[in-house]
Amino acid sequence: MNTDTHVLSVLVENHAGVLNRVSGLFSRRMYNIESLSVGVTEDPTVSRMTIVTSADGDSLTQIMNQVSKLIDVKDIKILSLDNAVLREHVLIKVSGADVAGVMQICNVFRANIVDISSESMTAELTGAPSKINAFISLMEQFEVKDLVRTGLTGLLRG
Amino acid sequence: MKLTGADIVIECMLEQGVDTVFGYPGGSILNIYDSLYRYSDRIKHILTSHEQGAAHAADGYARTSGKVGVVFATSGPGATNLVTGIATAMMDSVPIVAITCNVTTNLLGKDSFQEIDIVGVTTPITKHNFLVKSVEDIAPTIRRAFKIARTGRPGPVLVDITKDATGNMCEYESEIQDTSVERTIESDENAFKAAIELIESAERPLIYAGGGVIAAEAAEELKRFRAKIDSPVTLSVMGLGAFPASDPNFTGMIGMHGTKTTSLAISQCDLLIAVGARFSDRVTCNTATFAKGAKILHIDADRAEIDKNIKTTHSIVGDAKLVLERLAKTVKQQSHTEWMESIYKWKEEYPIHKPYGDSFTPQCIMETVNAAIGRDSIATTDVGQHQMWAAQYLMVERPRKFITSGGLGTMGFGLGAAIGAQAANPDYVVVNITGDGCFHMNMQELATAAKYELPVIDVIINNNVLGMVRQWQNLFYEKRFSNTTLDKKTDYEMVSRGLGAQAFTATNKAELEAAMAAAVANRTMPTVINCITNPDDFVLPMVPAGHSIEEPILDIDEC
């Protein structure tokens, strides 16, 4: 993560249109979204959004202030590698030509093979973004057919 | 007691003390209009010619009364016609609640007749909005909508209710609503300490106040604070009225068409205290050179305004009334005689009011109107040259007496706003300063003013051109007057009479005086006064876009 990338953990009311309000705010104020993941929390009336954005310090304050102004936003925190557990999930489908080679890389990363056919193999991995990036770059030698990342999600430690 | 959703909507209006709503009926909102029929002894509905006029009227009602304005419209085009009015209110932080009705729940999402996702459409231009699909949610949602509209930095809230929800019944219990404004200060003691230190060490302070002072009812506190720190005051166009125009310590308006005195004060002050203002691009002109020798103290109700456009030295987030009151109490009495003397000298050297002899100039028109309307009056404006002339030359002495579309710059705003202002202030003289371009945008609302016997006075600065755009074409487009010469065949007197107004034409000061006298005397009919002026009168001073506020064009020969 470079110094300009920030992870925001935003608690919002869980009802229709909230995602639109938050993402619309980012687009109309020219803020950048690198990834956004959202899901319900232990309280079914509340969802948590994890937003990865790139911004300098002043812009980050602006983003925090503007997001906080939305009526549906209940809380906003900055997550970092120091204060939070950050995870991402990837599914990657590669050619099935070199089963042993794929298995070897997957073993090193403790990735699971979740689908296999004569043409292709699909592996899954959960981890910090740096680990996911390293895994993807090593898997590229096996001809990547499809790839999906969930975007970052995380929780404060302690 | 069991009531229909529509009756609950009206009951909720009564809970909030709403006495007047502006709007236009239609298919989806039929149930609510049926309730209005039965509640007509307790709530007045003003039927405009177009929903946009109703939205501007609710806005003018809110700005001049300090209460929440209310507008009703039906689904689809009724709702989309509100959009410009809602956006105008959003940009100027005006508390309005818009109630729209949508098609029945089972028809939502099917491109049904007159169906529009108005919540989606208005999300970027409302403080918040709601879609209500069940009758049980109507009362709590409307109560919340009013609270959101008036709390903190005010703004418009839209509540879209499906037609079936307005027809269904549920249990309703009237609740007494606290309609007073909750005032809070977010910043802590340290912020005040830092602010006081800044103020007490300043030698050349300048207060720049905006609409937030008016919204917070803080004009008296501003006066006391100013006296304590011995500083000149400038106002944004939204702030006009927050400080008396006739006060010797007022430097005039700030910004692209602000006074030279203000420009000099901005460039030479060592502390700029912004209160309830947001450093709009029309104020700062060029942010790199704006107040570059000054420290900046920013006081605003909205934390997101701090450091948004201009980097501040210190800030206090909170209600302007509370913050100014506290600062006025705690700051030691300051004296800046030398600085104040230079302000008074500049005011004499660069007066905004100048002799105009016999010519029928915009300044002559504004001063004549100002003299005719007296103290208990409200001025609204449309947008363009006439708006800036009104801002420069009308002497606005008190808050909520100068109503203009400052942020969005909405042509066609003025007449609707004037209708709302007159409905809220029946005993006041309400004058709308407009241009011949703007007049054509919403003149159909003259019929509304006539029908409800609202004696608004429409003063048209008729120069036969879209003057502000022409001014830019004059200065920056080598006089290529593309589509700004109007040359309309409109007979202003005839069309005004046709819509139920009395009408006059003025080509000189004496004719305008006579027309204004007739207008002010008539308390049952709107008046239109068509003032014929020169197409090449300029709004001056002017800071061209991107230039430094320190170097306004004062005279057109300089260009």
Residue B546: pLDDT band by 50, 70, 90 thresholds? confident
Task: Tell me the average pLDDT across A12-29.
Answer: 95
**Contact criterion met (CB below 8 Å) for B369 and B459:** yes
- Interchain CB contact of A27 with B (< 8 Å): no
Q: Is the CB of A20 less than 8 angstroms away from the CB of B148?
A: no
- Token reading at B359: 């010519």
Cβ-nearest to A66 among B120, B123, B304: B304
Q: How far apart are CA B208 and CA B236, in angstroms?
A: 7
The CA–CA distances, whole Å, from B480 to B26, B436, B466, B468, B469 equal 45, 20, 13, 14, 11
In chain B, which residues have their Cβ closer than 8 Å to the Cβ of A28? 124
Interface test with B, best of A12, A56, A69 (most B CBs within 10 A): A69
Residue B555: pLDDT band by 50, 70, 90 thresholds? confident
Q: Is the CB of A71 less than 8 angstroms away from the CB of B128?
A: yes
**Contact criterion met (CB below 8 Å) for B235 and B254:** yes
Judged by DSSP in three states, B424 sits in: helix
Predicted local confidence at residue B234, as pLDDT: 98
Q: Is A68 exposed, middle or buried (0-12, 13-18, 19+ CB in 10 A)?
A: middle
Beta strands in B66-156 (DSSP E): 69-73, 96-102, 128-132
DSSP states along B346-399: HHHHS-SS---TT---HHHHHHHHHHHH-SSEEEEE-SSHHHHHHHHHS---ST
Would you put residue B244 in left (φ > 0), alpha (ψ -120 to 50) or beta? beta
- Phi/psi at B72 (nearest 5 deg)? -115, 140
Q: Which residues contact A91 (CB under 8 A, 6 or more apart)?
A: A114, A122, A123, A124, A146, A147, A148
Span A33-64, pLDDT tens digits: 999 999 999 999 999 999 999 998 889 999 99
Judged by DSSP in three states, A116 sits in: strand
Residue B341: pLDDT band by 50, 70, 90 thresholds? very high
**Closest chain A residue to B145, measured at CA:** A71
In chain A, which residues have their Cβ closer than 8 Å to the Cβ of B155? none
CA-based end-to-end distance of chain B: 71
In chain A, which residues have their Cβ closer than 8 Å to the Cβ of B124? 24, 28
Tell me B318's DSSP state: B
Say which residue the tokens 């899954």 belong to. A124
Judged by DSSP in three states, B3 sits in: strand
Instruction: Report the CATH fold assignment for B2-171.
Output: Rossmann fold (3.40.50)
- Token reading at A98: 């070199």
Q: How far apart are CA B100 and CA B88, in angstroms?
A: 17
pTM for the whole thing? 0.96
DSSP states along A35-77: EEEEEE-SSTTEEEEEEEEE--HHHHHHHHHHHHHSTTEEEEE
Span A69-126, pLDDT tens digits: 999 999 999 999 899 999 999 999 999 999 999 999 999 999 999 999 999 999 999 9
Judged by DSSP in three states, A95 sits in: strand
**Is the pLDDT confidence value at B61 over 90?**
yes
Q: How many CB atoms within 10 Å of residue B556?
A: 14
Helix residue ranges, H only, chain A: 18-28, 57-69, 99-109, 129-139
- Phi/psi at A157 (nearest 5 deg)? -75, 155
Tell me which CATH homologous superfamily contains domain B189-349.
TPP-binding domain (3.40.50.1220)
Predicted local confidence at residue B558, as pLDDT: 53
The number of helix segments (H) and strand segments (E) in chain B equals 23, 20
Q: How many CB atoms within 10 Å of residue B96?
A: 33
Task: Tell me the average pLDDT across B235-262.
Answer: 97
- Token reading at B263: 């420009």
Residue A3: pLDDT band by 50, 70, 90 thresholds? low
In chain B, which residues have their Cβ closer than 8 Å to the Cβ of A62? 304, 307-308
**Contact criterion met (CB below 8 Å) for B290 and B549:** yes
- Token reading at B541: 């001073």
Predicted local confidence at residue A1, as pLDDT: 45
Q: How far apart are CA A54 and CA A26, in angstroms?
A: 11
- Interchain CB contact of A24 with B (< 8 Å): yes
Q: How far apart are CA B102 and CA B163, in angstroms?
A: 6
Residues in chain B: 559
- According to DSSP, the β-strands at A84-95 and A144-149 are antiparallel
- Interchain CB contact of A82 with B (< 8 Å): no
Interface test with B, best of A13, A18, A19, A21 (most B CBs within 10 A): A21
Predicted local confidence at residue B550, as pLDDT: 86
- Token reading at B107: 């028809």
Say which residue the tokens 């039906």 belong to. B74
Q: How far apart are CA B83 and CA B475, in angstroms?
A: 33
The CA–CA distances, whole Å, from B446 to B164, B380, B499 equal 35, 15, 6
Residues β-bridged to residue B460:
B434, B530
Cβ-nearest to A62 among B123, B128, B308: B308
- Interchain CB contact of B304 with A (< 8 Å): yes
Residue B375: pLDDT band by 50, 70, 90 thresholds? confident
- Please report the domains of chain A, with CATH numbers, ordered by start residue: 5-79 (3.30.70.260), 84-156 (3.30.70.1150)
Nearest Cα residue to B221 out of B316, B327, B324, B329: B324
Crossing angle of helices B5-15 and B138-150, rounded to 10°: 30
Interface test with A, best of B91, B123, B287, B310 (most A CBs within 10 A): B123
Predicted local confidence at residue B545, as pLDDT: 84
Predicted local confidence at residue B100, as pLDDT: 98
Nearest Cα residue to A149 out of A121, A119, A124, A113: A124
**Closest chain B residue to A57, measured at CA:** B307
CATH no., domain B362-532: 3.40.50.970
Helix residue ranges, H only, B425-532: 436-442, 445-451, 467-476, 492-498, 509-521
Residue spans in chain B of domains classed CATH 3.40.50.1220: 189-349
- Residues of B carrying an active site annotation: 51, 113-114, 163, 468
Q: How far apart are CA A51 and CA A78, in angstroms?
A: 10
Q: Cα dihedral sign for B51, B54, B60, B66?
A: negative
**Is the pLDDT confidence value at B88 over 80?**
yes
**Closest chain B residue to A28, measured at CA:** B124
Q: Which residues contact B166 (CB under 8 A, 6 or more apart)?
A: B4, B5, B6, B9, B29, B31, B32, B101, B135, B138
- Interface A:B, Cβ pairs < 8 A: 31
Q: Quote the minimal CA–CA distance from A47 to chain B in Å.
A: 18
DSSP states along B509-542: HHHHHHHHHHHHH-SSS-EEEEEE--TT----SB
- Interchain CB contact of A17 with B (< 8 Å): yes
- Interchain CB contact of B119 with A (< 8 Å): yes
**Contact criterion met (CB below 8 Å) for B219 and B398:** yes
Nearest Cα residue to B62 out of B179, B141, B159: B179
The alpha carbons of chain B give a radius of gyration, in whole angstroms, of 24
Is the link from the previous residue into B541 a cis peptide, with omega within 30 of 0?
Answer: yes
User: What rounded mean pLDDT belongs to chain B?
Assistant: 97
Residue spans in chain B of domains classed CATH 3.40.50.970: 2-171, 362-532
**Contact criterion met (CB below 8 Å) for A23 and A17:** no
DSSP states along B142-206: HHHHHHHHHSSS---EEEEEEHHHHHSEEE--------SPP--B-S-HHHHHHHHHHHHH-SSEE
**Contact criterion met (CB below 8 Å) for B207 and B273:** yes
Q: Is the CB of A68 less than 8 angstroms away from the CB of B304?
A: yes
In chain B, which residues have their Cβ closer than 8 Å to the Cβ of A72? 128
**Closest chain A residue to B157, measured at CA:** A71
Type and span of the H or E element at A92: strand A84-95
Q: Is the CB of A65 less than 8 angstroms away from the CB of B304?
A: yes
